Amino acid sequence: MKNKLRFHIAFWLAYVIYDTALEFAWMRSSYAHYTDWHRLWVSVHAVFAMLPPKMIFTYFVLFVTIDRGLMKNRKIIYLVLEMIPALLLCIIMHRLIVHYYLRYYVYYEAPWVDQLFGATQLISGFITVGFTTACAVAMKFLRMHWISKEREKSLVKEKLEAELKFLRTQTNPHFLFNTLNNIYALARKKSDHTADVVMKLSKLLRFMLYESRKERIPLSDEIRMIEDYLELEKIRYNERLKITFLKDIDDPSQQVAPLLLLPFIENAFKHGASETRFDSYILINTKLQKGFLQFDIENSKEVNGDTSVTENIGLSNVRRQLELMYNDYTLQIMNQEKHFAVHLTIYLNNDAKI
């Protein structure tokens, strides 16, 4: 309500300044013997004297014709029929003010002959009143269009944020189920590492429950979470799997979307290490230089002749998250005969504004 009132005050203030400037320019030639200050005072006086009929018709159109009529889908013919009497009354009011007030009390017996309801005078009154109302209506429709666009942007943003949250909730259970499977396998073997795995899982769950809800986290936290996850997997695979994790980070505090890299690592274990019997390896290389994050992961796979790339839920989710959160990124997935590789680069300083 306050914003709307400010908008109306600003409109009429701008109109008064504009109309005063026109009136002042007209009086320069017609009243050359007046001083500039006198002409300015007369111009302001005239503008405010003629303002009531303009304001009455303007607000009639804004609040009756548009708000109560057009917005409620009333027929145009009825709206026009309502406007005509209001317009005529305002033109008559305008002519009465000019003829009986401005002519004698502002312009001081103007030398020009001024008929009360001559054709020229009525047309002049129509143009004067109509122009003001047309400007106000144009501003109203521009404001309505802007508000509609902002509301549309807000709805789109809410939809994208809801989609992003849904994608993350899909990733978290996937990660949890894989880790629980690891604990189950260790428990069946009655491994001494079971207690350590449960403790590490507790730390990872704490990360998922609290840190992953944030829009961005420091890259150092993401790296730490990945290291904990790798430690869990090393306990599970022992010496059967060689895991290499290389890091070259120039700014550990650089902000990144949480759980963005984990699906690629999970995929390497699920479809690489768990299905490879000999010479099984996973190579991860993470590099950050001046805001550019480069993430490469490669895992061994059994030779099966199938090199087509088929994305599972985890990879599809992370691709969609990248689309929602970053403007500048590249993602390449390569399925070779003996290995599977992912190459991801993101410019972290160019976030997408959801």
pLDDT mean values, one per 10 residues, the chain (354 residues): 81 90 78 77 86 91 79 73 88 86 67 67 86 89 83 66 58 63 74 75 75 81 87 76 90 87 83 69 92 92 61 72 84 85 89 59
Give this prediction's pTM: 0.55
Quick check: 128 and 163 in contact, CB under 8 A?
no
What is the CATH topology of the domain spanning 153-347? Heat Shock Protein 90 (3.30.565)
Cα-atom radius of gyration of the chain, to the nearest Å?
37
Token pair in block for residue 289: 């230089």
Each as own residue / partner, the long-range contacts of residues 78-82 (CB below 8 Å, 24 or more positions apart, any chain) are none
For residue 326 the two structure tokens come to 């970053």
Instruction: Report which of 332, 336, 333, 331 is spatially closest to residue 307, judged by C-alpha positions.
Output: 336
Say what the pLDDT of residue 175 is. Answer: 60
Secondary structure letter of residue 106 according to DSSP: I
pLDDT for res 57: 92
Buried b (16+ CB within 10 A) or exposed e, 120-155: ebbeebeebbbebbebbeebbeeeeeeeeeeeeeee
Is 302 within 8 Å of 277 (Cβ atoms)? yes
Query: In angstroms, how far apart are the furthest CA atoms of the chain?
Result: 113
Q: Domain coordinates of the chain in residue numbers? A: 2-152, 153-347
Q: What burial class does residue 299 get, using C-beta atoms within 10 Å of its C-beta: 0-12 exposed, 13-18 middle, 19+ buried?
A: buried
Please state, in angstroms and rounded to a whole number, the distance separating the CA atoms of residues 221 and 58. 60
- Buried b / exposed e along 182-194 (16+ C-beta atoms within 10 A): bbeebeeeebebb
pLDDT at 164: 57
